[in-house]
Amino acid sequence: MVTSVPNKVGNYSSTGNGVHKLFFDDITNFLRRCLFRVLSVGPIPTHLAFIMDGNRRYAKKQNLKEGEGHKAGYLALMSLLCYCYELGIKYVTIYAFSIENFKRRPDEVQSLMDLMLEKMEALLMEESIVSQYGIRVCFIGNLRLLSEPVRAAAEKVTKVTSNNSKAMLLVCVAYTASNEIVHAVEGSCKEKEKEFRLCNLNNNVMDDVKEGEKVNGMVVHDIQDFYEDTSVESQGLKQGKGCNGAPYHACESFESNWDQVLTSKASKSGEVSEGFRNLRQEVPVIKLVDIEKHMYMAVAPDPDMLIRSFGESRLSNFLLWQTSNCQLYSPAALWPEIGLSQLVWAILKFQQSHSYLEKKMKQL
């Protein structure tokens, strides 16, 4: 017969259930640590990304009120984050709110914003997972689309956790990959425009040079013709045609187009091509590295694996730029049902394909 143990173990009022629960929790934690130790023998992903699909379906399945599914999803997320950081996964990215989600009913959007604000404030508490694991939190996306209270809370969490360095949580809100790419291209163009204005071949310098004189080895009238030609080419690209009027292909390099123009102008002018080489070096050109450094996700390496719940394999405009060499895992469980077993299977799947993907990456 089990006797009551009042005021002996915590605040449990039932007959020994508190002792059993504590014992069970200790055993569970011990077994989980053993499991993680075994998994750590193989490669562990540095960065996991999650598309949290199925919160509303879960609420409907469990006959819960609207919005309760997202709260259950938040609890599942907290457990999963603990498992990830215990396993040594340093970066976790979650797709919390898409720009497309703003198209939902206003009351549903407001409910999600209220829940987001509540959970952001909870992250700042001393006993939160952020403090426990030393997590730096970054909010990724077009934050200008958020309401003022939510945006202010996001900025506060980012600032307060900025010195944490053990792990990183990236929360994608008001985000789509297409918006991120447009943002990166715009940022790159603005940066190159500033560099161009500082270039000694800008109009301010040219105003002080007479016709026929040389600047960096180029005759003045040739430089002016060069800018006119490149302007015409830009119009051709906007119209879907290449520099020579042929259909434009994305795989063609902008740099090669510039080289063709420079070679052509050098032949026309009869001047030594050294001046054109100088111009080629000084005129700013947008490169891949320029685009990538202006990405919202530039603060973290590309994901090693993307996990989407409910068996869906669509990316839904999420991290399209960063997932070209990323594994995709789609467990059948709804997001609030995601737990340790799904994470373990994801790690095993990653380890199974890791060597093959590493060889592929080296070949690129």
DSSP 8-class letter at 304: S
> Which range, of 6-10, 28-32, 302-306, averages the lowest pLDDT?
6-10
Q: Mind listing the pLDDT tens digit for each residue in 11-29?
A: 444 455 677 778 888 898 9
Instruction: Give the residue numbers annotated as catalytic, written as ranges.
Output: 53
**Which residue in the block uniquely carries the two structure tokens 């993680």?**
36
Q: Mind listing the pLDDT tens digit for each residue in 232-268?
A: 444 444 444 443 344 444 444 444 454 554 455 455 5
For the chain, helix (H) and strand (E) counts, in that order, are 13, 8
In whole numbers, what is the pLDDT of the chain averaged over residues?
80
Query: d(Cα 282, Cα 278) in Å, to the nearest integer?
Result: 6
Instruction: Identify the pLDDT of residue 149.
Output: 96
pTM: 0.75
DSSP bridge pairs for 136: 168
Query: d(Cα 243, Cα 255) in Å, to the nearest integer?
Result: 12
> Which range, of 70-84, 124-138, 340-354, averages the lowest pLDDT?
124-138
Instruction: Identify the pLDDT of residue 359.
Output: 80
**For residue 329, pLDDT beyond 50:** yes
**For residue 33, pLDDT beyond 60:** yes
Show me where the domains of the chain are located: 44-174+303-362, 176-205+289-295
Q: Which residue has the higher pLDDT, 275 or 298?
A: 298
Query: d(Cα 217, Cα 194) in Å, to the nearest integer?
Result: 23
Counting residues of the chain whose pLDDT is more than 90, the rounded percentage is 60
Query: d(Cα 276, Cα 177) in Å, to the nearest integer?
Result: 38
Token duo for residue 4: 């009551």
Q: How do strand 327-329 and strand 135-140 relate by DSSP bridges?
A: unpaired
Token duo for residue 22: 């504590």
Which class is 44-174+303-362 in CATH?
A: alpha beta
Average pLDDT, integer, range 112-125: 93
Q: Which residue has the higher pLDDT, 201 or 162?
A: 162
